[in-house]
A and B are shown apart, each in its own frame.
Chain A
């Protein structure tokens, strides 16, 4: 299964996004399909349509507190699980005062050796950063609040890891991109 596109590519909460897919299981429905945005499963899938050729669409509504990031789709089909990941990210338009990570460089790292730069807005609101399940001990904020720098912990698990910050006021703040830890 593949996500070929989605539209629109940005918007605030309550925006209805239509994902276009190919190779969907024929029995995909709202009952067995989950859409994941930036690592968080969305509560409601509005519609799922599948054509005879396996191409189809899924409509979801961007929820409050959603984070910018890639879309994932999971279909629990009679033939097994089918998954897909979007190649590009959906950008959630957040209120001006809310922290948001808009970029991360590099996106491949060696545990204990690579320094990561997160850029965005209001990043001074972020007190902690995690790489997957591993807490980052020390983070450095740049002024004016548009950058955070940290070393990937030596104990970080290898593979694709989600990087996210934690804000006391706004909760979890995801990086829109996954980090590949080697």
Chain B
């Protein structure tokens, strides 16, 4: 079984590869599509006409769908010294100047026309565009378990992303702000972070990295 010292030395050995090669392999890595219940994002307000006594309002929670998500860039990667948590768990840390996830969003908000408090008509407003989620000057670490070989257990991405939304359609300023706020909310930012963490855990580039680490320990 490899010792923590073996892992620390092997992680140091593969530093040039981690810093120079891994970011290129990570870029364009796809993330799974996501569908989220976003509550009322205010999209129905755009249906209201000035002077009308009937008012369009939410008739249910908006659904936001994220598709074609990819790691668009990973820059300034620096490998840090591996640390031992206990005898069998290691952290393999990286810092980076930028990690950018980009993709498409679409939303659908059910709306109802209320006249004197009575629902008289319903419709659904839709919109779509592109979304960029950026972690600046942050870090992540792989959690690895030592047994006969080193295996990846989980990945922790630190920091909070900033979110930029660029609408193709349905681009009223208030809606854009609502959508941006939704993606920046604690729950959604955490969901996106979990998505990124899962990708780093299972992606081919991480499997290549851990294979290389084991190879260095064995050599």
**With A76-B211, A81-B211 as contacts: A39 and B204 at CB distance below 8 Å:** no
Interface residues on B, range: 20 to 34
Against A, the Cβ 8 Å flags (1 = close, 0 = not) of B187-218 are: 00000000000000000110110011011101
Interface residues on A, range: 20 to 34
**With A41-B14, A43-B16 as contacts: A76 and B204 at CB distance below 8 Å:** yes
**With A39-B13, A133-B6 as contacts: A31 and B215 at CB distance below 8 Å:** no
Bound Cα distance from A36 to B213, whole angstroms:
12
- B-side contacts of A74, CB under 8 Å: 208, 211-212, 215
Residue of B nearest to A178 (CB): B219
Interface contact A41-B17, CB-CB below 8 Å:
yes
Bound Cα distance from A162 to B5, whole angstroms:
15
| Contacting residue for B208 out of A76, A83, A132, A160, CB 8 A | A76
Interface contact A43-B20, CB-CB below 8 Å:
yes
B13 → chain A, closest Cβ, in Å? 7
Instruction: Assess whether A34 is interfacial by the CB under 8 Å rule.
Output: yes
Against B, the Cβ 8 Å flags (1 = close, 0 = not) of A92-125 are: 0000000000000000000000000000000000
**With A34-B212, A43-B20 as contacts: A72 and B204 at CB distance below 8 Å:** no
B155 → chain A, closest Cβ, in Å? 17
Instruction: Assess whether B178 is interfacial by the CB under 8 Å rule.
Output: no
- B-side contacts of A76, CB under 8 Å: 204, 207-208, 211
Bound Cα distance from A42 to B13, whole angstroms:
11
B217 → chain A, closest Cβ, in Å? 10
Instruction: Assess whether A40 is interfacial by the CB under 8 Å rule.
Output: yes
Interface contact B17-A34, CB-CB below 8 Å:
yes
Bound Cα distance from A34 to B20, whole angstroms:
12
Bound Cα distance from A111 to B204, whole angstroms:
39
| Contacting residue for B219 out of A32, A39, A44, A81, CB 8 A | A39
Please provide the chain A residues from 146 to 160 with a CB less than 8 Å away from any CB of chain B in the complex.
160
Residue of A nearest to B25 (CB): A31
Instruction: Assess whether B21 is interfacial by the CB under 8 Å rule.
Output: yes
B14 → chain A, closest Cβ, in Å? 5
Against B, the Cβ 8 Å flags (1 = close, 0 = not) of A68-88 are: 000010101000010100000
Residue of B nearest to A159 (CB): B218
Interface residues of A (CB under 8 A from B): 31-32, 34, 36, 39-44, 72, 74, 76, 81, 83, 132-133, 160, 162, 178
27 A-B residue pairs with Cβ-Cβ distance under 8 Å, sorted by A, are: A31-B208, A32-B204, A32-B207, A34-B17, A34-B215, A36-B215, A36-B219, A39-B13, A39-B216, A40-B13, A41-B17, A41-B21, A41-B216, A42-B17, A43-B20, A44-B20, A74-B208, A74-B211, A74-B215, A76-B204, A76-B207, A81-B211, A133-B5, A133-B9, A160-B218, A162-B219, A178-B219
Given contacts A36-B215, A41-B13, A43-B16, 18 further A-B contacts (CB under 8 A): A31-B25, A31-B208, A32-B204, A34-B17, A34-B208, A39-B216, A41-B14, A41-B17, A41-B212, A43-B20, A43-B21, A44-B20, A44-B21, A72-B215, A72-B219, A76-B208, A133-B9, A162-B219
9 closest residue pairs by CB, A with B: A76-B208, A41-B17, A43-B20, A81-B211, A76-B211, A76-B207, A133-B9, A74-B215, A34-B212
Interface residues of B (CB under 8 A from A): 5-6, 9, 13-14, 16-17, 20-21, 25, 204-205, 207-208, 211-212, 214-216, 218-219
